[in-house]
Amino acid sequence: MEGKESEFETIRSRPAKSGNCSYGDSVIIRETSKSRVLVTPFFIHRTSNTELAIRIATYGKVAGPQNYFLRPEKTISMGEEASRKLLHSLTTHLQVAEAGEDGSFLVIKVAEGTAQLRGHDPSQVAQALTKVLGQPKIVEHLQSAELSTSLLAALRLSIRLNEMKTAVASLRTNLDSGVNDEPTYQKWCETHSWAFGSAYVMRDEVRNISATDKLDMLLPTAIAGFRDIVELKRPDMPVLNWDGDHRNFYFSAEVSKAIGQCHRYLDVLHEAAANGLRDHPEVVAYHPRAIVVVGRSTDWSIEKLKALHGLNRRLSGILVMTYDQLLSQGERLLELLGAPPEPTDHDIPPEPDWSDFDFDDDGNPIMG
């Protein structure tokens, strides 16, 4: 590396001609006998804050009357988000370069040779670590290390939240992509039964409740351990139909069949497992309930949603919900557990309007 940079440096910010932006002095980051590369910082004034943007420009040196003159060749403009990513990438990879060897590296800010973790929220530290330490076995190994109890607990929670966020994203992707085969959602629900609510713990492996009746899922309740039933149908099935003569919604034929199917399952399960199934005495059902998951509701009106709610209220021991409602339930559970929301396109700040700036032949902004 080159010599240590000066401890003090003067930074100037001057207004551009638009009045909405300012710029700083250009910095030559590379110069040869044939070219020059400049970085110019810009300060984009928003309503609530000021953002940093940069412009990287390459100029070719062309022989002229006075030694040479610069000719613009290539330009790259970056808003604040891209600038921060570039800064982060350079900073972290510089640490790897200084290590001088190949391998996998976990970069943690340190002071005087020691990682300073005490002043940070343990959950935030854990979330950063789980990008690398995403395997539960690593968490078990860390129990022998001298880490605080709060940090270990936060690390376990962060890993669990990351798993749940990935699961919710997977369900959303399947629905948005038009995947309609029932086995896909059967597997997802079996793996992520927590999405049905915090009242339930892990699902049972048992699915046969009689010689002729096989359930999609059995869920033990967290409080008493009694079992409830989940019946899964395809997401492309209709849920409600409209009766124009009587001006009301009613369950479609497919949902009505599923409700009838659940009534039989509930009767059989109540009789067969009141004191535990014959080969599985731990599976006990006492006045079980059933959840039917079917269809989509992403484009429903408020009237149609109210209709489903009202019809559910008038059913006894059976709840009909759509896959979109199951997805929303999983997202809501993540919010309650403190998982940060996934960024959307609306969270990404717009690029600055580069037409606000004019540049001279040396790549410096021209004041208005």
Domain-located, residue 343: no
Are residues 285 and 160 part of one domain? no
Within 13 Å of residue 60, how many CA atoms lie on the same side as its CB?
6
Residue at 346 is within a domain: no
Angle at 278 between CA 275 and CA 283, to 5 degrees: 55
CB 218 within 8 A of CB 204: yes
Top pLDDT among 203 and 83 is at: 83
For position 123, what pLDDT does the model report?
Answer: 61
Do 66 and 141 lie in one domain? The reply is no
- Top-ranked range on mean pLDDT: pick from 13-27, 132-146, 168-182: 168-182
Range name among 8-17, 173-182, 195-204 with the lowest pLDDT average: 195-204
DSSP annotation of 214 = B
Specify whether 18 is located in the same domain as 65: yes
Mean pLDDT of 188-198: 85
Q: What is the DSSP letter of 196?
A: G
258 within 8 A of 319, measured Cβ to Cβ: no
- Side chain identity at 219, as an amino acid letter? L
CATH of the domain at 89: 2.30.31
What's the pLDDT score for residue 209? 67
Q: State yes or no: pLDDT of 42 exceeds 60.
A: yes
Per-residue confidence (pLDDT) for residue 14, from 0 to 100:
84
Is there a single domain that holds both residue 213 and residue 276? yes
Do 63 and 93 belong together in one domain?
yes
Question: Both 316 and 201 in a single domain?
Answer: yes
State pLDDT tens for residues 47-86.
788 888 888 988 888 876 666 767 788 888 888 888 888 8
Residues 332 and 183 in one domain: yes
Query: pTM surpassing 0.75?
Result: no
Say what angle helices 149-176 and 323-336 make with each other, to 10 degrees: 160
CA angle at residue 40 from 39 to 44, to 5 degrees? Answer: 135
Query: Between 200 and 176, whose confidence is greater?
Result: 176
185 occurs within a structural domain: yes
Please, which residues bridge with residue 57 across strands? Answer: 38, 75
Q: Is the pLDDT of residue 318 over 80?
A: yes
State the residue range of the domain holding 295. 179-336
Torsion of CA 112, 117, 119, 121, to 10 degrees: 160
Do 186 and 158 fall into the same domain? Answer: no
Could you tell me if residue 3 is inside a domain?
no
Structure confidence at residue 356 (pLDDT):
55
Q: Tell me, what's the pLDDT at 348?
A: 47
Instruction: Give the number of domains in the chain.
Output: 3
pLDDT over 90 (residue 242): yes
Cβ atoms of residues 104 and 135 within 8 Å: no
- Indicate whether 111 pLDDT > 60: no
Write the pLDDT tens digit of every residue in 263-289.
998 888 888 776 667 666 777 778 889
Indicate if 68 and 160 belong to the same structural domain: no
Q: Is residue 367 part of a domain?
A: no
Q: How far apart are CA 354 and CA 358, in angstroms?
A: 9
Domain co-membership, 208 together with 290: yes
User: Percentage of the chain with pLDDT > 90?
Assistant: 27
329, 204: one domain: yes
Asked if residue 355 belongs to a domain, the reply is: no
Query: Do 196 and 86 fall into the same domain?
Result: no
Query: Distance between CA 313 and CA 182 in Å, rounded?
Result: 26
pLDDT at 251 over 80: yes
